[in-house]
A and B are shown apart, each in its own frame.
Chain A
Amino acid sequence: MTLEFSPEARQRAETIIRRYPPQYKKAAVIPLLHLAQEEWGYISAEAMAYVATLIEAPPVKVAEVATFYPMFNKEPIGKYEIQVCHTLPCALTGCGRIVKHLCEKLNIQVGQTTPDRRFTLKKVECLAACDRGPVMLVNKTLYTNLTLEQVDDILNGLE
């Protein structure tokens, strides 16, 4: 069975594609990948092939884009996606300790998901809060000026 958008997502996809002239459907690749990620939580190979059919492009052209951006998950992720910034200002303010602490606490490596599928831990590039490092993003919430205790509190506060 091939993958397909739900009727609602399908409608949104059509709206996105209509933004571009018909001969430049390929331009819709990134918004459609976002939509796919919203729909299925991650971008599987099938999802790439499906998006390719929507924009009438060879699958490899979608794969190139999807794999280029780390924000597109290529594998299923946990309920909470924890993204710790490891760019220079955060590194100087101690993001290394935060990551190490998270690894120990969740008992996983960077890039992995806990077996109960609750947490996925990632190191990412700049989250645009350099004056408040170290920072991390949990799903769509940004936490700044982090200390180890705060990290514990945040984790404890999650369902």
Chain B
Amino acid sequence: MEPQSPPLVRLTIDDQPVAVPADTTIWEAARGMGIHIPVLCHHPKLRPVAVCRVCAVDVEKSRVMPAACIRQVEEGIVVRTDTDRVRRARKTLVELLLAEHPTPCAKHARSHDCELELLGEQLDITSPRFSIRPSSFVLRPFPPDPSSAVIAVDLNACILCDRCIRACDEVQVNEVIGRAEKGHRAHIVFDDGKPMGESTCVSCGECQAYCPTGALIDKPLMQVKAPSTVQTVDSVCPYCGVGCGVTYHVHDNTIVQVTGRTDGHTEGRLCVKGRYGFDYSHHPQRLTVPLIRKDEAYPKQPLSADFTDYKEFRDSLRSPEWNERIRETFREATWDEALDLSARRLMDIKTRFGSGALAGFGSAKVTNEEAYLFQKLIRTVFGTNNVDHCTRLCHASSVAALMETIGSGAVSNIFQEALDADVLLVIGSNANENHPVAATYFKQAAKRGVTLIVMDPRRPPLANQATHYVRFKPGTDVALLNGLMHVILRDGLHDDAFVRERTENFEALREMVQQYPPDVVEKITGVPREMIERIAFAYGRAERAMIFWGMGISQHTTGTDNARCLISLCLLTGNIGRRGTGLHPLRGQNNVQGASDVGLIPFALPGYQRVDDLAVRTKFERAWGVPLDPRPGLTVVEIMHAALHGDIKGMLMMGENPFLSDPNMNKVRKALQALDFLVVQDIFLTETAEFADVILPASTAAEKEGTYVNTNRMVQLGRKAVDPPGQARIDGDILIDLANRMMEIEAGVRGQGSGVRKWEYRTSRDVWDEIVPLTPLFDGITYDEMARRTVIWPHDEQIIFTQTFPRGRGKFVPAEFAPANELPDAEYPFVLNTGRVLQHWHTGTMTRRTKALDEIAPEPFVEVAPDDLTRLGVRDGDWVTVASRRGVITLRTKASTKVSPGSVFIPFHFKEAAVNLLTNDALDPYGKIPEFKFCAVRVEKAR
């Protein structure tokens, strides 16, 4: 049922009659009529607080002048916004504020947009009548606070509007900023009065975005010149799957600032990466010229070898000497030479060993159009389905389970619906750090009274806002979830009608979960039975419950089983197909959804149409004019194994860095060394590119146009903000060129002369127009519409599976608890968990080359529980070695209660302590995803 709209109220503003809904404020009513009442403390996206009073208006018969921003309309009132009295009051207030305000403040000096000073200019206040007398009550002048890596704090410019507090408390829900003391001495504080950079601030910059003056302002990350010549380009953030709308501010082909797009689906919110992690585009180590390995540089050795000296490694990220070292191994080449060589060698492998000896790793960071061209190149020119990308390392198991049970890997509802749910279950997801802006919606929901259940062996920051936080033993997800379903069934909390009408195989599930009563589950998971029941009751009794999960679920050898259990839990209670319900595996990369949608996976062509389906193949063969291989190809880790065994001999890698991102790094290194020919196209010389025969300089997201699909299935248009540096080209153009050259060679071999169907795409739009007719899920989505707004697939269907599932009925697939592949023992007593930190992105190729992110999070660390540190005789910050059966790394400890005793956590961004030397490459049998989240290690004090 739609909520009833409130009744209309009639009033008069500046002699014009108007009728507005009863809960409208005078300020909103006036704005709707085009009457602008100035405000300082108010912001349309924030709760009104009426502390500045500059919006005070005259209301007939009212005792005082009410603040328009907060006073709601009343029947028959007569409002005047521009009387002498109003103007006098307003002017006095602004004069008083200006008396204490440094003029111009940093914001006004930078970009002429301090709201207080603009208002002063508008009200013709040239020299304020008031001056401040120094006294023991006045804290001014405040010393500047430069401690934050990204925000400059000048409390002298602060007008105590509290916008930053509301932005921090209510929008991002980080609750770091407050108002200390009172009266003349009142001022903004961080935490218990710490400098901003030492507080719990996560540098999202939301406070700064809302600050009307120069009190909180972005530090310049790139040198800004004349602000009047700054151009703005609306685009999409290049980091995570949330896909926030960003605006690039560009001066002289340089991005100087990034701001959030308030018209985007995340309402202008950004995190530290999105807002401050843009300068990698302009890093001096960008690849700008095609490179070919010198003859004397064989056999292949990694350039950066085994960096273990932290300082040396960090220095190498910015030193020009690094470029020198590259020149010792690689020589510069022309595009023609590099592409011809690549085409010839790859085609040579194909001719001699067959298509199966070739493979390609695409990337979830490129556009849909580029991902499409990549898989088309591999399938039609290489002639193989050996094409995959890092989706295999993140949600492959989730997708395997979703395909099997529902028939679609897509999320059922968008994450903003967290605000519409009664209960949120977030499991195996550290959203605050990995999907920071999605997490803001979870936190907001919790703050508004939604029951938030957070389940994770490692306590995520989201647990601070949670109604219930459940810590369970690593790798026992299946038992825990079966336990929840046991209680739900035992107490009849399941949705009988839904189970009957929309699911199948229920009896098998019932039998399975029968074996998981709370006392059994308590023994396996370590979660008290009362807690298991409490969670089961909360989820089972909810009218609308939503499940979010991340890599904590998927990156296990039981990843598919974990996801099956979550799906069963959802189906059992009928929590799908309605607003505020459903299943949402939070997608990692900015375009991992899109790359999979357009076929960058070994078993499916664009639109998840299986390669082993004859009808599908026929359709694509007709469209592409080439016969296709009917056998599904190999997956990421399988390709690496095949390379090691010499079955795969040639590879093309686009923007993928398996050297650091894949499990069991020593094995990956041998595999890369074993390849006969490796072409890498990337923006930096990655660890993987060090093994390349040819390196092609490519472009960043800010340098090209194209579309991306976020975790919400929203297809968004990214626009070009700057030109690529030097001779670097956009990835799509490189692929077109390589495909055409290879096809020419092949035609020559076969003696077909010029009979090849050359690829002729002029723009990314041309490619999109080819994708859509072949990919039913994109039906009706056009560039024109995407240029105007965020479009969701299927076209405008925010909530899917409302009536039926793609496979018809939802299928319960019961899962039995099985322990992790490698359990701790006497020799390797700790469980190692891996993941990310807020500031860094995957292998750090981009983020470690941004000024701010590197400054905030410069070094690797291993989180160890304080009790374990004591037992090991190691202090917080000491150097330790962490060893597994596969490798050993050295790094500093960080005492942390996030991990439970017996577990340690290491982020995987840092090459100088590359945790994937340690991880286990055992695979989930269905999703083929490696077990990144669990292996046995030993921790010892470093000598």
User: Residues of A with Cβ closer than 8 Å to B?
Assistant: 45-46, 48-49, 52, 58-64, 67-68, 110-111
Contacts and interface: CB of A to CB of B under 8 A. Distances in A.
A122 to B, nearest CB: 11
B194 interface: yes
Given A48-B192, A67-B189, A111-B136, A60 B178 contact: yes
B178 A61 contact: yes
Contacts of B331: none
B176 A63 contact: no
Contacts of A110: 136
B165 to A, nearest CB: 9
Contacts of A48: 192-193
A67 B193 CA distance: 10
B180 A64 contact: yes
A59 B174 CA distance: 11
Contact of A60 (B136, B176, B181, B182): B176
A35 to B, nearest CB: 17
Contact of B190 (A52, A60, A68, A111): A60
B175 interface: yes
Nearest to A110: B136
A67 B175 contact: no
23 contacts: A45-B194, A49-B191, A49-B192, A52-B192, A58-B191, A58-B200, A59-B191, A59-B200, A60-B176, A60-B177, A60-B178, A60-B192, A61-B175, A62-B192, A63-B180, A63-B191, A63-B192, A64-B178, A64-B179, A67-B181, A68-B180, A68-B181, A68-B182
Contacts of A61: 175, 178
A111 B185 CA distance: 14
Of B190, B192, B200, which is in contact with the most chain A CB atoms at under 10 Å from its CB? B192
Of B176, B182, B193, which is in contact with the most chain A CB atoms at under 10 Å from its CB? B193
A49 B175 CA distance: 13
Given A45-B194, A68-B181, A110-B136, A63 B175 contact: no
A68 B187 CA distance: 11
Contacts of B194: 45
B461 to A, nearest CB: 11
B177 to A, nearest CB: 6
A58 B181 contact: no
Contacts of B181: 67-68
A58 B193 contact: no
Contact of A45 (B177, B178, B182, B192): B192
Contacts of B179: 64
A80 B841 CA distance: 56
Interface string B134-177: 00100000000000000000000000000000000000000111
A157 B687 CA distance: 78
Contacts of A59: 191-192, 200
Nearest to B181: A67
Nearest to B174: A58
Contacts of A60: 175-178, 189-192
A68 B194 CA distance: 17
B444 to A, nearest CB: 15
Contacts of B191: 45, 49, 58-60, 63
A61 B181 CA distance: 12
A67 B181 CA distance: 5
A62 B178 CA distance: 9
Nearest to A46: B192
Contacts of A45: 191-194
A95 to B, nearest CB: 16
Interface in B34-59: none
A63 B189 contact: yes
B301 to A, nearest CB: 48
Contacts of B180: 63-64, 67-68
Nearest to A56: B464
Nearest to B177: A60
Nearest to B467: A23
B171 to A, nearest CB: 15
Nearest to B188: A60
Nearest to A49: B192
Interface in B388-407: none
Contacts of B177: 60
Given A45-B192, A63-B191, A63-B192, A58 B176 contact: yes
Contacts of B193: 45, 48, 63, 67
A52 B191 CA distance: 10
A58 B192 CA distance: 9
B226 to A, nearest CB: 38
A67 B191 CA distance: 12
A49 B193 CA distance: 10
Contacts of A64: 178-180, 189
3 nearest CB pairs, A to B: A60-B178, A58-B175, A45-B192
Interface string B182-220: 100000011111100000100000000000000000000
B897 to A, nearest CB: 11
Given A45-B192, A62-B192, 8 more contacts: A46-B192, A49-B191, A59-B200, A60-B177, A60-B189, A60-B192, A61-B175, A63-B192
Contacts of B189: 60, 63-64, 67
A64 B178 CA distance: 6
Contacts of A52: 192
A48 B189 CA distance: 13
Contacts of A111: 136
Nearest to A60: B178
Nearest to A69: B182
Nearest to B173: A58
Contacts of B175: 58, 60-61
A46 B180 CA distance: 16
B31 to A, nearest CB: 32
A39 to B, nearest CB: 17
Contacts of B182: 68
A71 to B, nearest CB: 13
A24 to B, nearest CB: 14
B162 to A, nearest CB: 11
Nearest to A45: B192
A69 to B, nearest CB: 9
Of A49, A63, A110, which is in contact with the most chain B CB atoms at under 10 Å from its CB? A63
A45 to B, nearest CB: 4
A68 to B, nearest CB: 5
A82 to B, nearest CB: 17
Contacts of B192: 45-46, 48-49, 52, 59-60, 62-63
A58 B447 CA distance: 13
Contacts of A58: 175-176, 191, 200
A11 B18 CA distance: 61
B178 A63 contact: yes
A58 B178 CA distance: 10
Of B136, B176, B178, B190, which is in contact with the most chain A CB atoms at under 10 Å from its CB? B178
Nearest to A48: B192
Nearest to A58: B175
A63 B175 CA distance: 12
A48 B175 CA distance: 15
A15 to B, nearest CB: 25
A31 to B, nearest CB: 19
Contacts of A49: 191-192
A54 to B, nearest CB: 14
A62 B179 CA distance: 11
A51 to B, nearest CB: 10
Nearest to B190: A60
A62 B175 CA distance: 11
A125 to B, nearest CB: 11
A61 B136 CA distance: 25
Of A49, A110, A111, which is in contact with the most chain B CB atoms at under 10 Å from its CB? A49
